Amino acid sequence: MGTWKTRGLRGSTLEDMINMTNESYREKGLALIQKIPTPITPINIDQSTRHITLAYFDKQSTVDYIGTVQGIPVCFDAKECAVTTFPMMNIHEHQVKFMEDFESQGGISFILLFYTSLNETYYIPFKDIKRFYDRSINGGRKSFRYEEIDKNYLIKSAPGALVHYLEGIQKDLASREG
């Protein structure tokens, strides 16, 4: 089981940008998206500052964010990748199952993936996540390459939205209609 010191701050840059975007969406009445905190059990607390210095994750989390966009339920996870190959071990079975169940209830599930070396963020629709996941558990490639993702889902920034993922949702929805 991971600890706060070893895993707690991974992906924080992307999450900060998403949090600012979500606040802007809320203020504009476009969406209401909430960050889901990961439950932790504190082990060490600095008594002078009352800050947690070591903690264990209580249980497996589902996704990082959940909410609604114009009445459409959405859930998604934020991931960062320093290279152009993303290991599927960074998307856990329980997360895929949660997103699959969420989709079966009429929601939209996806991942926002930030390639730090390229300074590019992509919306990865659940159908692609599921395809990559199924491939990895059925003896195929245990990762997906940058070349395999749909470049039409490149996320651009917009005024007040550093990670303007609403366009990705719109494209995802349009692809489901056809």
- CA nearest to 85, candidates 150, 19, 141, 29: 141
Tokens representing residue 137 in the block: 């558990």
pLDDT tens-digit map of 9-33: 444 788 999 999 999 999 999 999 9
* CATH value at residue 105: 3.40.1350.10
**For residue 41, which amino acid is it?**
T
Which residues sit in the known binding site for Mg(2+)?
62, 64, 77, 95
> What would the mean pLDDT of 25-50 be, rounded to a whole number?
82
**Is residue 88 very low, low, confident or very high in pLDDT (cuts 50, 70, 90)?**
very high
Residue 160's Cβ-count burial label (10 Å; 0-12, 13-18, 19+) is: middle
Total domain count, the chain: 1
Rg, Å, the chain Cα set: 17
Q: Is the dihedral of CA 65, 117, 100, 168 positive or negative?
A: positive
Specify the pTM.
0.83
Structural domain that includes position 123: 4-177
pLDDT tens-digit map of 130-171: 999 999 999 999 999 999 999 999 999 888 899 999 999 999
Which residues sit in the known binding site?
62, 64, 77, 95
Whether residue 117 is predicted with pLDDT greater than 80 in this model: the reply is yes
